[in-house]
Amino acid sequence: KQEVTQIPAALSVPEGENLVLNCSFTDSAIYNLQWFRQDPGKGLTSLLLIQSSQREQTSGRLNASLDKSSGRSTLYIAASQPGDSATYLCAVVSGNTPLVFGKGTRLSVIA
């Protein structure tokens, strides 16, 4: 059974800092990995999708990497801003099973 772990559970950084969020998964036979953002009381916004054949994806200040063989992904946020404060969720698709989520990292960027 696929399990997804995100470390740290919570993170507080000053504005402008670069930061890395970590995600690990137990079954490396994944189809893809997706990073989401969730603001309090809101739904999920997709940030980046990495297919199993890819090593990384970039969107603006965000860069996600995937090391499938070791079961790890990182989300790098450059020059963090207070508007980046949210919970970041990592999720993977394996075989025919639906998306399996980690419990998220709650990020606070302090002005």
Partner 1 sequence: GAGVSQSPSNKVTEKGKDVELRCDPISGHTALYWYRQSLGQGLEFLIYFQGNSAPDKSGLPSDRFSAERTGGSVSTLTIQRTQQEDSAVYLCASRLSRGAGYGYTFGSGTRLTVV
CB closer to partner 1 out of 42 and 55 = 42
31 binds partner 1 (CB under 8 A): yes
d(CA 70, CA 13): 28
69 binds partner 1 (CB under 8 A): no
* From candidates 9, 42, 61, 108, binder to partner 1 by CB under 8 A: 42
Cβ(65)–Cβ(76) under 8 Å?
yes
Q: What are phi and psi of 82, to 5 degrees?
A: -55, -30
* From candidates 1, 14, 40, 53, binder to partner 1 by CB under 8 A: 53
Which range, of 17-25, 62-70, 74-82, 98-106, touches partner 1 by CB under 8 A? Answer: 98-106
SS3 30: coil
101 binds partner 1 (CB under 8 A): yes
> Where does residue 43 rank: exposed (0-12), middle (13-18), buried (19+ CB within 10 A)?
exposed
64 binds partner 1 (CB under 8 A): no
